[in-house]
Amino acid sequence: MEDDAPVIYGLEFQPCSVRAPQARALSAQTAETDAIRFLVGTQSLKFDNQIHIIDFDDENNIINKNVLLHQAGEIWHIGASPADKAVLTTCYNKTCDSRVVSCAAVWRMPSDWETGSHESPDDTAHNPQTLELLCHLNDSAHGNAACVLWEPMGDGKRVISLADNHALLWDLQESSTQAVVSNTATLEGKGQLKFTSGKWSPHHNCSQLATANDTAIRGWDLRTMSQIYCIENAHGQLVRDLDFNPNRQYYLASCGDDCKVKFWDVRNIQEPVKSLEEHSHWVWSVRYNHSHDQLVLTASSDSRLILSNMVSISSEPFGHLVDDEELSEGEDNHQDDKGKEPLKDSVVSTYEEHEDSVYAAEWSSADPWLFASLSYDGRLVINRVPRALKYRILL
């Protein structure tokens, strides 16, 4: 089927498409559940950076893009608000006085970006609109921001920013125009410790945070801002990314420079539950599918994207459990299922459309079978879970 073919989109600078910009920041528009929409942030030291809003028309297999200017600096990280479609956070670098500073800010998209672009989608002369700054998430005392995390499934009022060795919990007030640090946690230890990434757990009433610094993974309780657990040497090298299993509260995936993807049960941190070594270079991003947590997406600087089917440690280790009613209706199907071999962990597919390091991969918030990946050369690839697997999971 043609719709299994990947859709490739090359980022271009608007209006003058000089060359493909570098890009690292990718996010699904979390609050949008109808349209398949991704946000991409560019990295350029020479031009105004942009946020590309990529809309994917699933039926026609067409990509629509809209561009918003992000003049503050090159974007390292994007986070979309889970409550308000128009609100997002970025972490960006800016240079002032020949110093490079990392900042974080909350932005709002202009309300009419959509209409404007629809009228003239291919009009390169059209001047892109600019993002509206809501507030800075900067605290001069706390150094360079690495990433900003929204409270999962929250009301868009709380974010955490990781800056150097601090985790700052912000309360956004007055429709996000004001940000106040409500709590902080500090990583203490020898040497210059620095958070590289983090993830806000959707479980336990959103009271837990996991962070990565160097080779360690730490869990934090946000109520007391104290460390709950610490997986020292979780990876042989730097830990690059984390993700929580959306359905199993103690399960956590991590990836790093040792080319491995590891799955942890945080109740037993001595050994990973599972370890994958499919990539041939550093793994930069790991993402659980939001609905079917056996599907795990990993992106690596070996220019590959790998979709794995981790059935054995998913919330549905025996496949989709059929209800009694369904059973009576579709006896035959069920029989077929039973006849099949028990599902095994496997690599579903390796995607090789990228030609440079893939730094980010995300699942769509609207379609659970669709995901996007972004490589450094500004190429965005949209892929679907193979049909056979999709039906096997569903049926």
- Which residues contribute to the site for other proteins (CB under 8 A)? 16, 18-20, 22, 45-46, 93, 95, 98-100, 233, 236-237, 258-259, 279-282, 301-303, 352, 355-357, 376-377
- Answer whether 293's CB lies under 8 Å from 303's CB: no
C-alpha–C-alpha distance, residues 136 and 134, integer Å = 7
Q: Which of 198, 96, 218 is nearest to 149 (CA)?
A: 198
CA distance 320 to 297: 20
Give ∠ CA 225-202-321 in degrees, rounded to 5: 145
CA distance linking residue 94 with residue 45, whole number of Å: 9
Q: DSSP states of 135-164 as a string?
A: EE---GGG--EEEEEEPTTS-S-EEEEEET
CB of residue 98 to other proteins, shortest distance in Å: 6
User: Tokens 């659970």 — which residue?
Assistant: 368
Measure the CA–CA gap between 300 and 287, rounded to whole angstroms.
12
In the complex, the smallest distance separating the C-beta of residue 299 from other proteins, rounded to whole angstroms, is: 13
Q: How many CA atoms lie within 13 A of 4 on its CB side?
A: 9
Q: Is the dihedral of CA 195, 185, 290, 146 positive or negative?
A: negative
Alpha helices in 105-195 (DSSP H): 113-119
Sheet containing 226-231, strands listed edge to edge, beginning at the edge strand earlier in sequence: 197-200, 208-213, 216-221, 226-231
Return the number of the residue (236 or 317) whose C-beta is nearest other proteins.
236
Tokens of 186: 């500090």
Cβ distance to other proteins smaller for residue 73 or 202: 73
Instruction: In angstroms, give the least distance from the CB of 149 to other proteins.
Output: 20
Residue whose CB is less far from other proteins, 98 or 205:
98
CB of 236 to other proteins, least distance (A): 5
- 233 or 315: whose CB is closer to other proteins? 233
**Which residue, 136 or 281, has its beta carbon nearer to other proteins?**
281
Of residues 92 and 363, the one with the C-beta less far from other proteins: 92
Residue with Cβ nearer other proteins (85 or 379): 379
Give min distance, CB of 189 to other proteins, in A. 17
Closest contact distance (angstroms) between CB of 272 and other proteins is 9
For the bound state, the minimum distance from the C-beta of residue 214 to other proteins, rounded and expressed in Å, comes to 11
Q: Minimum distance between the CB of residue 286 and other proteins, rounded to whole angstroms?
A: 17
Terminal CA-to-CA distance of the chain, rounded, Å?
20
Beta bridge partners of 275: 262
Task: Output 279 or 292, the one with its CB closest to other proteins.
Answer: 279
CB-based contacts of 325, cutoff 8 Å, min separation 6 = none
